[in-house]
Structure formats: structure tokens, C-alpha cells
């Protein structure tokens, strides 16, 4: 157990919770942040502290990834809670919120406790279960929100699925409001999407693949936003992908609804052209959209319409990916490439480093009521030490995830996690 | 028999689609096929070009006509032909595809002909096997030998393709034949139109190189070629069009609509036809119809494609994918 105090000198500290971007010193003791900032520059190192030369390095609060699919229980060959936690640690990102669409579905207290117990016994980062909105993800009967919340579920979501019934959604938002729970929802109108497997448009037509119109995302999203306004519930649009959705969120926020929105790093980094010759690792839900949509996502991230960025980590094996495109499953892994892909946006001048860290760490921690996301004195010492300029190329064989379906294979990144701390303990260190 | 003509070496290892072929690639395949048209009309139709080579027809979708055409083409070139009709069994299609591909590859075939219901299936197969692959139709994506045989039919009847007006009519949305033809006819300089109700036109079709029309009366004006597409039964009962009779009234090719096209316009259909749905019998069997000729050209084109892909002059190391 590395519980020695840690003393990081002369590092660049970016802490959106205090609006700080300055050269300073970080002191970690007893699993907590003892000090972090320029004001600590003249502070002496605690006795027996491990000293780290922070010059040229960046210290940020650890990422908080609010949308991670794991194969456990039910598909452990794709990913276990343990392997996902290693991937998260290597990505600089404890803790994460685990989606409930497993087998069995995490829709009752026993399953929430199973995840918590397994995480406690095997994971090296904190894993927070999300509970299902409806029993068995069937979209009919509400799951036991209050009991699951008491057991540790941090929000409620149908994972990859959408609640089709407006009535069920209305009741879920109304009921969850009573104990301030967030309903996080991906919107996908199955009937309108039909047999679609990628974004509708010229490119899909050329490939002979059925298209999914943007309206299949926006129509149920607009419905949900109206229900959020009606009920006063806390609604989080979990994975928006197109300009129209961003406009809908902006309108709802302007009208004063308590809604938030998330976007996956994939939809900030990639577009439909990346599918190329039927590359199934780029088959995602929602589908990768046009370049204009990607640009709109970046703009919405920068202007605050979008609140958080997620990896949407979704491990899939060859048995679900090495198929003709229309038969393959959706999803790509992303825990380990989340920060590097985000830094690409910073290096390109699309968003500021402060805003990126806020949307990857501070905002999701706050939204889901999780510890972390800050380097305030007294906060839990979840942090990442990053070389913001180090160039590297993604090698799938080096990834910790059990599945290798990354959309960033061979990608050239600038910026890499050097060390990750959870509760003051080093859970990942490179080199 | 006269000395065989010398054609340039075909640069591609596979024929997965018309996309990726240059106009000279296409012209050369058509030129090669001319000789096979003549050969197939002789009493002795066989050559030994592919003697000792193994051709496997891997059809995940039943297609008697296309499979027979490829089989005949291979046999006339002297190849050993094996038919594998996998069908759409209860086994998940994709698993069957990869598993079957690996099994077949271990048998060292020289050429694989694949038909599959999923777009991109031929390309996926080509990544997994070490022999040449010919796409005989992958979902709604491409059917390159059909477009080539259509081009050969048109070129022989009209003497050229550049400058002709070709109207492709019917279920363009789900048609691999339409996609391959749009690509090929554009490459060779024809004006391509697509004529269909808007529910059967793909998104962005005008940017694919085809001028869209939603009325036969407009789309067929001045057409040199009227190419009809098959409409699947399950798509005409309310899903994409309300009924067969409504479709035939507005989009079925009958004498009245054909009269709008040029007097010498060719009538084509990739088969199998739904008589009385997309085409009236009198037109299908009429003097302007070249539908049977298309079948004949199909064998010649497939011989040309296989001969080109298995050209012994090829040095695989120097070829494009």
C-alpha cells in the first residue's frame, strides 16, 4: 500500500473546481489533498514524503467517466469490473459509473450490491453502479430507485436502450425527483431508425447501408425535455451526437429546465467517414454523424450546452464485431484513450484545457454526487499526473481492456497519463 | 481459332465493386468479354485457360440465375467449380461467413464468388482469404458483374456508352444493381437518371451521380436505355409503396410509358422479373427488350472477370488491393 505522503513540486495545476491554472505544489497526505496550488509552493515536504518533480507536468483531478459498459456480470470475456478498472486507471480516470445493461440487468438491490462488492474486492478504482430505470430494461415497470440509491446506485439509466413509452418516462422522472436522482437517458427511436446501422446520408447510401436519421435521436430527446419541464425531474441527455440535439438542449436550458447533456469522446473526435470500408469498430450508437455535427458538438462543449464528456466505453469481442457491418454490435472501448483524445481538442484549439478537465472530471463528479473532480484541500486525493505534450501511438496490445475494439487504433496522440492516484494511492504509473 | 488477343494486366486482386475501377479497367473487361460472346456461340465453347484452378461459388442468398451464370463461366474456362449454397439458415449469418471463409481458404481455392445479404460482406471475406474474391452481390451495396454485363449489352446494341441517357427505374433504395450501374455508367460518360417514388430513393442520390425523377413521364423523356429494377414483394404492401396496382400504374413499364423514351430505346431488367409489377409482359417480351441478351452477356462478362483476375502474368506483389 502506497500510503506515503506525496509531494509534487512545480507542476502545472489545473483545477476547474476553483478555476485554478497555475504552477504550484500538490501535497497528498492521508489519502486526501493537503494542499494544491501556487500558495503551497513554499511549503515544505512532509516527513518521509515521496517527492515528484512536477516540472513540465500537469496535475488534474482524476477523470470521472459517467458512462462505462462492463461485461460483468454476464459477458466477462469482454470485460470484468477488474479489467475495466485497470483500463480506467491507465487512462487517468477513476472513478467511473457502470451501466446497468448487463446480464442479469442491474435493476435491484442485490445486483447493485454485487457490483459494489465485486468492485471493492477486485477493482483498483472506484466503480459506481447505475441502476436500471425499468425492471429488466423492458421499458414497462419502474425499478426500485430508492432502494437501489440507498445501496449505492448513483443514477438511473437504461444503458444502451431507450424508454419508448412517454408515460413510463414521465413517471420515472416524477418519482426520481422525490429523492433528487438523475435519470440519464440515451434517446433512440427504434421505429424511426428501422434497420439503420449508420448515419443517414450520402455515405450510407454509397455503402449500401441503411441510414439512421438524426431525427431518431432528436424526437425522443425533445419528448424527454418536455417531460423534464413538466415533472421538474433531473434529466441528463446521456449521449447526444448531432447539432439538432444540442439546439434542443440549449433551448431547454434557456427555458430553465434542470437538464444536462453529455457527449461521447467519439462524437467529438470522429465522423461517419471514419467508417471507411465497413470498419465495425466505428459502428456506434448513436452513429457517428457528419463533420458538421462533430463541429457542433465541440461548439456545444465549449459554450456550456454540453456539460460532460464520457468515454462510452463499450467492450465488444470478435464474436460481435468481426461481422458484416450491419450485423455487428455497436460500441467502442475508450477508457484509456479518453484523456488523450480530449487533449487533441485542446491542442487543436477547440476547447481550453480548463474546460476539458471540467467536463471530464469536475462536472460529472458534481452531477452524479461523486467524490473527486477537485483538488481542494480536504478532498479525496483522486488525481492524474499527465505529460501534456508526450507523443504516442495507440497500440491495441498495450491496452488494459480485455476487448480491443478501439476506434483509435494507431491514432497519434499528444499527451499521456504518467501516474494515477486513487485516494492518495498510486494505482497506475508508467515507466 | 485466331490467336488470343493480348489485354493489359488487370491491376486488381478482387472484384468487390465498380467503385475503385478506372474507365480503362472497365473498358478492358468489356473488350475481353467480346471474345467470350463469340466463343459461347460456337459449338465448342470450352477453353483451358483456368484448367487446374478451383472456383467456389459461395451463395448465402439463393440465386439460381447468378450462380448458374458463374458456374457456366468457370466451366467454360476449364476451372473446377464447386457450389456452396449456405442459404440463410438459423445459424447467425456473420458467424457462418467468417467460419466458412476460413474453412474454404484451407482448401486453397483460386477464386471465391460470394453472394451475401449484408453490404460489405465481400470486402470482409476478401480480408480473410488468400485468393481472389468476386462480389456477386452484397446486400444493397454492389453487384459489379451485373453492371458490367449491362454495359456490354448496351455497348453492343448502341455502339457506345458515352453520351447515352440511361434511366434506372424502380427500387433504387435497396438495389445493388442500381448502385453499381450508377458508378459504371458515370465512369463511362453516360447521363444517369433514377426514377422512383421518393420512398425508394436513397438519401443523397443526386450526389451519387444520378439525376432523380419521381415521375416516369419526366424521367423517360429522351432515354436511350430504360433499365427496370425488381421490386421485392414485401416492400410493396404499405411499407414503401401502398400497393402493387398503384405502383404498376405509376412506375410499371408499359407501352404508354415506354413511348416517352426514344423510339429505339433498349429495355433492360436484371431479373428475375415481376411481370405486371414493374414491367408489363408485352414490354418484357417486346422488340425493344434485350433482357435475354443480358443473360447471355452475363456468362461472357463473368468469364472475362475470372480470366482477368487469374491472369498468369500477374505478379501479386505488384497489385493494388
CB distance B121–A324 less than 8 Å? yes
Mind listing the pLDDT tens digit for each residue in B216-250? 999 999 999 999 999 877 776 668 998 889 999 99
Mind listing the pLDDT tens digit for each residue in B35-54? 999 999 999 999 999 999 99
**Which among B92, B138, B203 has CB closest to A200?**
B203
Q: Does A174 touch chain B (CB under 8 A)?
A: no
Q: Distance, in angstroms, between A203 CA and closest chain B CA?
A: 8
Q: Does A323 touch chain B (CB under 8 A)?
A: yes
CB distance A205–B203 less than 8 Å? yes
Interface with chain A: mutation pick from B140, B203, B234, highest number of A CBs within 10 Å? B203
Q: Is the dihedral of CA A347, A348, A354, A355 positive or negative?
A: negative
Query: Which residues make Cβ contacts (< 8 Å) with residue A244, sequence separation at least 6?
Result: A214, A215, A217, A218
CA–CA–CA angle A165, A139, A214 (5° rounding): 60
Q: Distance, in angstroms, between B286 CA and closest chain A CA?
A: 33
Rounded Cα distance between A394 and A412, Å, is: 7
Q: Distance, in angstroms, between A326 CA and closest chain B CA?
A: 6
Identify the bridge partners of residue B116 per DSSP, sorted by sequence position: B138
User: Please, which residues 227-246 of chain A have a Cβ atom closer than 8 Å to chain B?
Assistant: none
Q: What percent of chain B has pLDDT over 90?
A: 82
CB distance B93–A209 less than 8 Å? no
Q: Go through A300-323 and write b for each residue having 16 or more CB atoms within 10 A of its CB, e for each that does not.
A: bbbeebbbbbbbbbbbbbeebbbb
Q: With beta carbons under 8 A apart, name residues in chain A contacting B97.
A: 323-324
CB distance A207–B141 less than 8 Å? yes
Instruction: Tell me the CB-side half-sphere exposure of residue B214, using CA atoms within 13 A.
Output: 8
Q: What is the pLDDT of residue A3?
A: 73
Q: With beta carbons under 8 A apart, name residues in chain B contacting A206.
A: 19, 179, 208
Q: What is the pLDDT of residue A1?
A: 45
Q: With beta carbons under 8 A apart, name residues in chain B contacting A327.
A: 92-94, 118
Q: With beta carbons under 8 A apart, name residues in chain B contacting A211.
A: 203
Q: Does A276 touch chain B (CB under 8 A)?
A: no
CB distance B138–A328 less than 8 Å? no
**Which among A202, A277, A324 has CB closest to B94?**
A324
Lowest mean pLDDT: which of A34-43, A348-357, B104-113, B307-316? B307-316
- CA-nearest of B136, B123, B4 to B62 is B136
Three-state secondary structure readout of chain A? CCCCCEEEEEEEEEECCCCEEEEEEEEEECCEEEEEEHHHCCCCCCCCCEEEECCCCEEEECCCEEEECCCCCCCCCCCCHHHHHHHHHHCCCCCEEECCCCCCCCCCHHHHHHHHHHHHHHCCCCEEECECCEHHHCCCCECCHHHHHHHCCCCEECCCCCCCCHHHHHHHHHHHHCCCCEEEECCCCHHHHCCCCEECCHHHHHHCCCEECCHHHHHHHHHHHHHHHHHCCEEEECCCCCHHHHHHHHHHHHCCCCEEEEEEHHHHHCCHHHHCCCCHHHCCCCCCCCHHHHHHHHHHHHHCCCCEEECCECCCCHHHHCCCHHHCCCCEECCCCHHHHHHHHHHCCCCCHHHHHHHHHHHHHHHCCCCCCCCCCCCECCEEEEEEEEEEECCHHHCCCCCCCECCCCCEEEEEEEEEEECCEEEEECC
Q: Distance, in angstroms, between B98 CA and closest chain A CA?
A: 7
Q: Distance, in angstroms, between A138 CA and closest chain B CA?
A: 24
CB distance B139–A208 less than 8 Å? yes
Q: With beta carbons under 8 A apart, name residues in chain B contacting A192.
A: none
Q: Whole-prediction pTM value?
A: 0.92
pLDDT over 90 at B113, yes or no: yes
Q: How many CB pairs under 8 A join A and B?
A: 74
Q: Distance, in angstroms, between A295 CA and closest chain B CA?
A: 21
Q: Does A201 touch chain B (CB under 8 A)?
A: yes
**Which among A211, A322, A326 has CB closest to B203?**
A211
CB distance B93–A327 less than 8 Å? yes
**Which among B120, B207, B208 has CB closest to A324?**
B120
- CA-nearest of B151, B158, B130, B307 to B224 is B158
- CA-nearest of A101, A80, A84 to A93 is A84
Q: What is the pLDDT of residue B89?
A: 52
Q: With beta carbons under 8 A apart, name residues in chain B contacting A200.
A: 203
Q: What is the pLDDT of residue A103?
A: 96
Q: With beta carbons under 8 A apart, name residues in chain B contacting A278.
A: 119-120, 123-124
User: Please, which residues 278-307 of chain A have a Cβ atom closer than 8 Å to chain B?
Assistant: 278
Q: Which residue from B minimizes the CA distance to A197?
A: B119
Q: Which residue from B minimizes the CA distance to A325?
A: B120
Interface of B with A (CB under 8 A): 19, 92-95, 97-98, 116, 118-121, 123-124, 138-142, 176, 179, 202-205, 207-208
Q: Which residue from A minimizes the CA distance to B143?
A: A208
Mind listing the pLDDT tens digit for each residue in B198-223? 999 999 999 999 999 999 999 999 99
Q: With beta carbons under 8 A apart, name residues in chain B contacting A212.
A: none
Q: Distance, in angstroms, between B279 CA and closest chain A CA?
A: 25
Q: Are B48 and B1 in contact (CB under 8 A)?
A: no
Interface with chain B: mutation pick from A206, A209, A211, A276, highest number of B CBs within 10 Å? A206
Q: Which residue from B minimizes the CA distance to A200?
A: B203
Q: Are B299 and B73 in contact (CB under 8 A)?
A: yes
Q: With beta carbons under 8 A apart, name residues in chain A contacting B140.
A: 208-210
Q: With a threshold of 0.95, tell me whether the complex ipTM lies above it.
A: no
Mind listing the pLDDT tens digit for each residue in B50-90? 999 999 999 988 888 999 999 999 999 999 999 987 765 54
Q: Distance, in angstroms, between A354 CA and closest chain B CA?
A: 40
Per-residue pLDDT of chain A (431 residues; tens, 9 = 90+): 457 899 999 999 999 999 999 999 999 999 999 999 999 988 888 888 999 999 999 999 999 999 999 999 999 999 999 999 999 999 997 799 999 999 999 999 999 999 999 999 999 999 999 999 999 999 999 999 999 999 999 999 999 999 999 999 999 999 999 989 999 999 999 999 999 999 999 999 999 999 999 999 999 999 999 999 999 999 999 999 999 999 999 999 999 989 999 999 999 999 999 999 999 999 999 999 999 999 999 999 999 999 999 999 999 998 899 999 999 999 999 999 999 999 999 999 999 999 999 999 999 999 999 999 999 999 999 999 999 999 999 999 999 999 999 999 999 999 999 999 999 999 999 86
Cell numbers given for A94:
477513476
Q: Which residue from B minimizes the CA distance to A211?
A: B203
Q: Does A319 touch chain B (CB under 8 A)?
A: yes
Amino acid at each position: 500500500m502506497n500510503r506515503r505522503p506525496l509531494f509534487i513540486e512545480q507542476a502545472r495545476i489545473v483545477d476547474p473546481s476553483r478555476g485554478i491554472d497555475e504552477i504550484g505544489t500538490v501535497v497528498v497526505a492521508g489519502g486526501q489533498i493537503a494542499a494544491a496550488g501556487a500558495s503551497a509552493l513554499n511549503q515544505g515536504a512532509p516527513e518521509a514524503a515521496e517527492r515528484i518533480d512536477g516540472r513540465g507536468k500537469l496535475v488534474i483531478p482524476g477523470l470521472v467517466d459517467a458512462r462505462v459498459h462492463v461485461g460483468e456480470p454476464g459477458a466477462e470475456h469482454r470485460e470484468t469490473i477488474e479489467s475495466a478498472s485497470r483500463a480506467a486507471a491507465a487512462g487517468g480516470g477513476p472513478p467511473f459509473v457502470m451501466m446497468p445493461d448487463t446480464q442479469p440487468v442491474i435493476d435491484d438491490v442485490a445486483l447493485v450490491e454485487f457490483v459494489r462488492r465485486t468492485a471493492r474486492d477486485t477493482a483498483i478504482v472506484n466503480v459506481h453502479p447505475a441502476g436500471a430505470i425499468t425492471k429488466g430494461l423492458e421499458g414497462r415497470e419502474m425499478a426500485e430507485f430508492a432502494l437501489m440509491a440507498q445501496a449505492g446506485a448513483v443514477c438511473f439509466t437504461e444503458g444502451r436502450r431507450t424508454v419508448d413509452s412517454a408515460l413510463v418516462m414521465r413517471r420515472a422522472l416524477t418519482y426520481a425527483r422525490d429523492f433528487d436522482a438523475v435519470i440519464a437517458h440515451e434517446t433512440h427511436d427504434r421505429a424511426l431508425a428501422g434497420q439503420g446501422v449508420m448515419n443517414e446520408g450520402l455515405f450510407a447510401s454509397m455503402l449500401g447501408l441503411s441510414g439512421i436519421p438524426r431525427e431518431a435521436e432528436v424526437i425522443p430527446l425533445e419528448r424527454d425535455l418536455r417531460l423534464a419541464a413538466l415533472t421538474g425531474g433531473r434529466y441528463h441527455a446521456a449521449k447526444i451526437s448531432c447539432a439538432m440535439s444540442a439546439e434542443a438542449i440549449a433551448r431547454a436550458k434557456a427555458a430553465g429546465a434542470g437538464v444536462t447533456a453529455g457527449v461521447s469522446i467519439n462524437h467529438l473526435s470522429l465522423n461517419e467517414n471514419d467508417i471507411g470500408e465497413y470498419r465495425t469498430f466505428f459502428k456506434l450508437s448513436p452513429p457517428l454523424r457528419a463533420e458538421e455535427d462533430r463541429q457542433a458538438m465541440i461548439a456545444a462543449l465549449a459554450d456550456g450546452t454540453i456539460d460532460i464528456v464520457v468515454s462510452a466505453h463499450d467492450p465488444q469481442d470478435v464474436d460481435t464485431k468481426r461481422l458484416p457491418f450491419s450485423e455487428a454490435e455497436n460500441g467502442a472501448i475508450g477508457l484509456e484513450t479518453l484523456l488523450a483524445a480530449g487533449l487533441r481538442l485542446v491542442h487543436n484549439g477547440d476547447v481550453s484545457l480548463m474546460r476539458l478537465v471540467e467536463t471530464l472530471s469536475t462536472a460529472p463528479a458534481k452531477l452524479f454526487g461523486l467524490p473527486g473532480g477537485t483538488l481542494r484541500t480536504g478532498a479525496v486525493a483522486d488525481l492524474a499526473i499527465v505529460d501534456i505534450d508526450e507523443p504516442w501511438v495507440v497500440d491495441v496490445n498495450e491496452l488494459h481492456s480485455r476487448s480491443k475494439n478501439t476506434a483509435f487504433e494507431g491514432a497519434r496522440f499528444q499527451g499521456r497519463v504518467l501516474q494515477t492516484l486513487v485516494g492518495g494511492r498510486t494505482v497506475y504509473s508508467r515507466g | 481459332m485466331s490467336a488470343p488477343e493480348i489485354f493489359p494486366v488487370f491491376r486488381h486482386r478482387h472484384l468487390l465493386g465498380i467503385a475503385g475501377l478506372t474507365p480503362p479497367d472497365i473498358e478492358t473487361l468489356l473488350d475481353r468479354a467480346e471474345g467470350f460472346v463469340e466463343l459461347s456461340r460456337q459449338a465448342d465453347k470450352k477453353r483451358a485457360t483456368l484448367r487446374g484452378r478451383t472456383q467456389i461459388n459461395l451463395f448465402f442468398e439463393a440465386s439460381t440465375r447468378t450462380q448458374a451464370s458463374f458456374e457456366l463461366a468457370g466451366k467454360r474456362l476449364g476451372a473446377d467449380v464447386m457450389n456452396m449454397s449456405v442459404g440463410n439458415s438459423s445459424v447467425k449469418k456473420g458467424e457462418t461467413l467468417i467460419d466458412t471463409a476460413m474453412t474454404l481458404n484451407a482448401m486453397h481455392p483460386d477464386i471465391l464468388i460470394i453472394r451475401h445479404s449484408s453490404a460489405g460482406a465481400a470486402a470482409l471475406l476478401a480480408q480473410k482469404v488468400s485468393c481472389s474474391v468476386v462480389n456477386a452481390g452484397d446486400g444493397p451495396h454492389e453487384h459489379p458483374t451485373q453492371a458490367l454485363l449491362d454495359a456490354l449489352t448496351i455497348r453492343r446494341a448502341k455502339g457506345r456508352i458515352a453520351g447515352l441517357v440511361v434511366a434506372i427505374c424502380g427500387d433504387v433504395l435497396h438495389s445493388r444493381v442500381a448502385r453499381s450501374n450508377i458508378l459504371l455508367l458515370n465512369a463511362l460518360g453516360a447521363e444517369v437518371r433514377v426514377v422512383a417514388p421518393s420512398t425508394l430513393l436513397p438519401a443523397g442520390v443526386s450526389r451519387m451521380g444520378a439525376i432523380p425523377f419521381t415521375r416516369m413521364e419526366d424521367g423517360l423523356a429522351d432515354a436511350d436505355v430504360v433499365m427496370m429494377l425488381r421490386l421485392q414483394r414485401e416492400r410493396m404492401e404499405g411499407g414503401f409503396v401502398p400497393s402493387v396496382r398503384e405502383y404498376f400504374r405509376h412506375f410499371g413499364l408499359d407501352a404508354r410509358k415506354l413511348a416517352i423514351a426514344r423510339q429505339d430505346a433498349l429495355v433492360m431488367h436484371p431479373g428475375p422479373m415481376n411481370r405486371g409489377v414493374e414491367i408489363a409482359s408485352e414490354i418484357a417480351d417486346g422488340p425493344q427488350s434485350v433482357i435475354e441478351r443480358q443473360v447471355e452477356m452475363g456468362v461472357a462478362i463473368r468469364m472475362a472477370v475470372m480470366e482477368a483476375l487469374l491472369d498468369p502474368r500477374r505478379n501479386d506483389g505488384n497489385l493494388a488491393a
